[in-house]
Amino acid sequence: MKNKDLFHQIKEQAARDLPDILARIDLNQIEIIPETAPIKRPHLSLQTILAYSLSAILVTIGLIWGLSLIDDNETPNYTPLASEAEIIGFQTLSSVSLLESLDFTTLAYKPLSYTDIAAVSVIETEIETINAYMNMLEVILGNQDNLTYVQADSDDPLYQHLINFSGVDMTATAINYRFYYNATDSETHRSLVGKIVFVDREYPVAGEIVTIGDIAERSVFRVQIDEDNYVETRNLSTTERQRFTYHIFKNGVMTNNTDLRLVATENALQATIAYAVGTRQLMLQVEKTKAQNAFQVRYQVMDGEDETGEIDIDVEYDEETAAYSYRYTVRSSIAEAASEIRRERRQKAQGQPGGGDDDDDVPGNNDDPGGDDDPGNDDVPGNPDPPGRGNLLPITGGANL
């Protein structure tokens, strides 16, 4: 049989069997899937691509900016002073600012000024020391953009080097200090002798920088009125923290030893100072307001029964005395109501009214434009001897820093 005939017989047999198969099929169980529209591929024009790219870039920038803000807010800088000029400038500037604020005679401070509230807070009994440090901190704290220490060419032929400090005080007045010095280097030491010039006043300065192995540098500076009355500050910073100590000497006796730690948050320098009087320990965290015209202080006193509180310190002008003063508003955990205290604020800038400008025996009160209010007396600020001679007490023993 030919293939053609075989295929024909198969086709006829299949046709005869087909009706039996169809009868056994349940058409109601057959699922009919509806036809779906074909998926269209997106057409990306150049304009669309650029728009998407720009959006992605903006989102990325926004994330980076947001993360930087979080980092700035949450990660303080514990070593805000980076350069040698900043560290040397900070030590000498803070020392002279503190020296100017101290009571080396019985006439330097005005009488106490309190509200009628009983003096129950430790702050009120320690106000003289606190006020001296607030005078110092007004100069050295604040927005870092407004505080600059610049190493410059000396314009004084007697001195090789100059560090120029510029800042702004709490009355929005520009202030300027200049530290002139000569330096002598040895294998492990660097000795500095010079003067700080502020307005029309000059203060002798001696300092020593010591390298301690490969770990860190230590430095000590002394700013003085004479060999018995001076402020000495030591740099005890590490690579992780910046810490300074201040020693106040009156008539050859150390009357105060204060620890100061610096930190920068949101580009603003803040300080924590701590000192002890007998068994009493006092710690203050100090920062300026964002407007830079007042202090905000949190404090803690540890002396058997602890005391905590807050202090707002602003500057007010007294028409009667034609001078600025500090007004302290103290809110203590052991007092029912806030108390107010007023204290002298020292002059911070040329021509600015301030306390302490009329008594030639008070440090920082040189009324003569040349800063020579007591000719012949080498112990009066304004009359330093030429570098390397006279009333400047040299610092020795630097290896023990």
DSSP 56: H
**Taking residues 207-224, what's their average pLDDT?**
81
Query: Does residue 29 belong to any structural domain of this protein?
Result: no
Q: What span, in angstroms and rounded, lies between the C-alpha atoms of 204 and 192?
A: 11
Q: Is residue 290 classed exposed, middle or buried when 0-12, 13-18 and 19+ CB atoms within 10 A define those classes? A: exposed
Query: Does residue 25 belong to any structural domain of this protein?
Result: no
Query: Does residue 374 belong to any structural domain of this protein?
Result: yes
Residue whose C-alpha is closest to residue 168's, from 142, 150, 149: 142
Query: Does residue 250 belong to any structural domain of this protein?
Result: yes
Q: What span, in angstroms and rounded, lies between the C-alpha atoms of 291 and 143?
A: 10
Query: Does residue 158 belong to any structural domain of this protein?
Result: yes
Query: Does residue 295 belong to any structural domain of this protein?
Result: yes
Strands (E), 278-365: 280-288, 294-302, 307-318, 323-332, 339-344
Strands (E), 20-119: 113-114
Q: What span, in angstroms and rounded, lies between the C-alpha atoms of 9 and 12?
A: 5
Q: Tell whether the model's pLDDT for residue 383 goes beyond 60.
A: no
List, for residues 134-162, the tens digit of each pLDDT value: 999 999 998 888 899 999 999 999 999 99
The whole-number pLDDT of residue 207 equals: 95
List, for residues 261-306, the tens digit of each pLDDT value: 999 988 899 999 999 988 889 999 999 998 889 999 999 999 877 8
219 beta partners: 209, 235
Query: Does residue 20 belong to any structural domain of this protein?
Result: no
Tally the domains of the chain: 1
Query: Does residue 51 belong to any structural domain of this protein?
Result: no
Q: Is residue 172 classed exposed, middle or buried when 0-12, 13-18 and 19+ CB atoms within 10 A define those classes? A: exposed
The whole-number pLDDT of residue 218 equals: 85
Asked if 114 contacts 338 with a C-beta cutoff of 8 angstroms, the reply is no
Tokens 């204290």 found at:
343
Q: What span, in angstroms and rounded, lies between the C-alpha atoms of 367 and 359?
A: 9
- pTM for the complete prediction? 0.69
The whole-number pLDDT of residue 54 equals: 57
Residue range of the domain that includes 149: 75-392
Q: Tell whether the model's pLDDT for residue 94 goes beyond 80.
A: yes
Q: What span, in angstroms and rounded, lies between the C-alpha atoms of 339 and 324?
A: 20
Q: Tell whether the model's pLDDT for residue 88 goes beyond 90.
A: yes
Torsion 238-239-241-245 (CA) sign: positive
248 beta partners: 231, 256
Of the listed ranges 68-82, 169-183, 214-228, 283-297, the least confidently predicted one is: 68-82
List, for residues 303-343, the tens digit of each pLDDT value: 877 899 999 999 999 888 888 999 999 999 988 888 999 99
State the pLDDT confidence band at 213, using cuts at 50, 70 and 90.
low
**Taking residues 31-38, what's their average pLDDT?**
54
The whole-number pLDDT of residue 200 equals: 80
DSSP 335: -
Asked if 142 contacts 168 with a C-beta cutoff of 8 angstroms, the reply is yes
Q: Tell whether the model's pLDDT for residue 23 goes beyond 70.
A: no
Q: What span, in angstroms and rounded, lies between the C-alpha atoms of 374 and 294?
A: 36
- Neighbouring C-beta atoms of residue 61, cutoff 10 Å: 10
In Å, the largest CA–CA distance within the chain is 149
Tokens 């106000």 found at:
127
Report the SS3 class of residue 23. Answer: helix
